[in-house]
């Protein structure tokens, strides 16, 4: 909590993050679904985050943090994940040329582990 008091997230920082992320990926599609709209009695839209380069919204945070870490000349990153977060870190680290290690628990999804490795991270 103390960290949040020292460095609150401002609207300005959110706009900066948006600009950074848009340099590396397009916005995910937002599609109106007629059948769902009728069923719910409103205009229903679905944001297709599964269309992002890692299949999840988490890549946005990964890109933003890696941009900051690259500017700070960080030598590498280590994270713990069972899947999407690790893939986000691995993919964004590769985009910025930052070495990444992703620690996964025994029994993790082998498909996710393979994707993390393919993205260029060392998996432990």
* Domain boundaries of the chain, sorted by first residue: 2-123
Residue 30 near residue 48 (C-beta atoms within 8 A): yes
Does the domain formed by 2-123 have CATH 3.40.50.740?
A: no
Q: Pick the residue with more confidence: 8 or 17?
A: 17
Separation in Å, CA 55 to CA 60, 84, 93: 11, 8, 16
In this predicted structure, the answer to whether residue 1 has a pLDDT above a threshold of 50 is no
Phi, psi angles (nearest 5°) of residue 101: -120, 130
pLDDT of residue 5: 59
């Amino acid at each position: 909590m103390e960290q949040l008091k020292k460095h609150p997230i401002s609207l300005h920082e959110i706009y900066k993050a948006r600009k950074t992320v848009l340099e590396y990926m397009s916005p995910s599609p937002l599609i109106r679904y007629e059948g769902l709209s009728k069923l719910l009695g409103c205009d229903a839209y679905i944001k297709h985050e599964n269309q992002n380069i890692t299949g999840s919204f988490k890549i946005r945070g990964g890109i933003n943090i890696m941009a900051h870490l690259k500017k700070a000349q960080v030598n590498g990153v280590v994270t713990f994940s069972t899947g999407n977060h690790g893939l986000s870190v691995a993919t964004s680290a590769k985009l910025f040329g930052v070495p990444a290690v992703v620690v996964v628990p025994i029994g993790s999804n082998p498909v996710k582990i393979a994707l993390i490795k393919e993205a260029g991270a060392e998996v432990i």
